Amino acid sequence: MSGPLSAAELAALVTAGEDSFTEFKAAQSSTRDVAKELCAFLNAEGGRVLLGVEDDGTVTGLGAWDEERAMNTVRTLLDPPAIPTWQQIQLRGAMVGVLAVERGTEKPYAVGGGEGRRYYVRVGSTSREASREELIRLTQASGAVQPDLRPVPGATAADLDPAALEQHFGGRRSLDWPALDAGEREAVLVSADILDPRDRLVTLGGLMCFARDPRAHLPQAEVSCVAYPGTEVERELVDRAAVGGRVSIQVRDAVAFVERNLRSSSTLERVERVDAPRPSEVVLREVVANAIAHRDYAIGAPVQLRVFADRVEVLSPGPLPNGVSPAGMRVGVTVRRNPFVVQHLVQQRVMDALGRGIVLVTEDLLTAGLPEPRIETPEGFVLVTLAW
């Protein structure tokens, strides 16, 4: 949205109509209506509110709107406040105000305060109130809250597996876990970020790493596994499974599903049968663990694992974290979306401790004579393909 508009550029925007970056507002629009549109633009990719333009594109003029009123709207109604740009341009015999904001850097932005506080997002040419899941993702994008430390509604200490907690804490010399009473154990769980300190609900990380069944509160917390007989998606299936449980169990069972469904083609050399190379158990474990650990748990979809005759595909919900690209992953760039979950899997010796997962996977595949992993980012997901 940077840079002032010329009269010709403004005319082109009005002619084109409203879209993801442009909103028309008539002179009689309230300050809260204007603040709502700016809030949605700040929570998206930025945009312009054209004051003095009707919904149908008729230019009727600013009326009571001027720079002071526009700036006061931003300063008093938006939280956190933003710094917009303001222009007044003559168009079709009337004055139009152009109030523009860039993509916000302090998401999530809201209108109002207290019980009247509302968060808005831009969807196409419409601004609407953010859903709970959208608000979570906006908060995650700001870096203000570690996603896997947020409490999971309804999940309490009763959902945790005593055996998993005993295994985790029992071996520590500085902590006699079996001797602790209920209050002391609760204090330890809060200190370990397994329970949220405010309401004692289980955190996302605590649920995924220590609950009996995370799907009781997060139905999407599973790996949907399917094996096909050929190289395309088809009705006939060789095998299928919905793998749930704690993250370490999901990794173990999903890798086992792949291994039992890999059909190794072989050739006969002289009198010996030689199997064609396939991805190793170490490679499969690293790719599956990365998909489970770095996925966006606010998205109501499972990790998908598909086994074909010539490849394995692992589809993880959520885009790559900010600052990460497929090219960067291949040289070791990593940003942990769920640091608690990642650290747990590292301690379990399931994931590489230094964030070199894709680098090591690539090296192992090339050493085995297999192609490098293919990393793609279809909208809202990350797809890793291991072919042979």
pLDDT at residue 356 greater than cutoff 90: no
Q: What is the mean pLDDT of residues 286-292?
A: 96
Distance CA 29, CA 112 (A): 17
- Which of 56-70, 121-135, 279-293 shows the lowest mean pLDDT across its residues? 121-135
pLDDT of residue 266 exceeding 60, the answer is no
pLDDT score recorded for residue 162: 96
Tell which wins on pLDDT, 189 or 379: 189
| pLDDT tens digits, 52-72 | 999 999 999 999 999 999 998
Q: Is the dihedral of CA 322, 327, 328, 329 positive or negative?
A: positive
Over residues 268-296, the mean pLDDT reads 83
Matching residue, tokens 């549109």: 37
Supply the pLDDT for residue 251.
98
**Fold (topology level) of 223-387:** Heat Shock Protein 90 (3.30.565)
Whether pLDDT at 345 is above 60: yes
- CA 264 from centre of chain: 35
| Residue 144 or residue 357, greater confidence | 357
**Is 7-144 a CATH 3.30.950.30 domain?**
yes
Whether 78 contacts 43, CB under 8 Å:
no
Query: For residues 269 and 226, which has the higher predicted lDDT (pLDDT)?
Result: 226
The phi-psi region of residue 233 (left if phi > 0; otherwise alpha if psi is between -120 and 50; otherwise beta) is beta
Average the pLDDT over 13-32 and give the result. Answer: 96
Query: Which amino acid is present at 382?
Result: V
72-116 pLDDT, tens per residue?
898 889 988 888 999 999 999 999 999 999 988 778 899 987 778
Distance CA 362, CA 377 (A): 18
- Write down the pLDDT at residue 322: 62
Residue 303 is given by DSSP the state: E
CATH 3.30.950.30 range(s) for the chain read 7-144
Whole-Å CA distances, 255 to 44, 79, 311: 38, 46, 14
Mean pLDDT of the chain, nearest integer = 90
Written as six digits, the tokens of 36 are 């709502």
pLDDT band at 31 (very low <50, low <70, confident <90, very high): very high
Phi, psi for 15 (deg, rounded to 5): -65, -40
Please report the pLDDT score of residue 265 as a whole number.
45
pLDDT surpassing 70 at residue 36: yes
Q: Mean pLDDT across the stretch 336-357?
A: 85
Q: pLDDT tens digits, residue range 157-212?
A: 999 999 999 999 987 888 899 999 999 999 999 999 999 998 899 999 999 999 99
> Hey, which bits of the chain come out as E strands?
22-25, 46-51, 78-79, 85-91, 94-102, 110-111, 118-123, 126-129, 223-227, 239-243, 266-269, 272-275, 303-307, 311-317, 374-376, 381-387
Q: State yes or no: pLDDT of 141 exceeds 70.
A: no
Q: Percent of the chain having pLDDT more than 70?
A: 93
Q: Cis link prior to 108 (omega < 30° from 0)?
A: yes
Residue ranges, comma separated, of all CATH 3.30.565.60 domains in the chain are 223-387
Please, are residues 305 and 258 in contact by the beta-carbon 8 Å criterion?
yes
- Average confidence (pLDDT) over 235-256: 97
Q: What is the per-residue pLDDT for 97?
A: 96
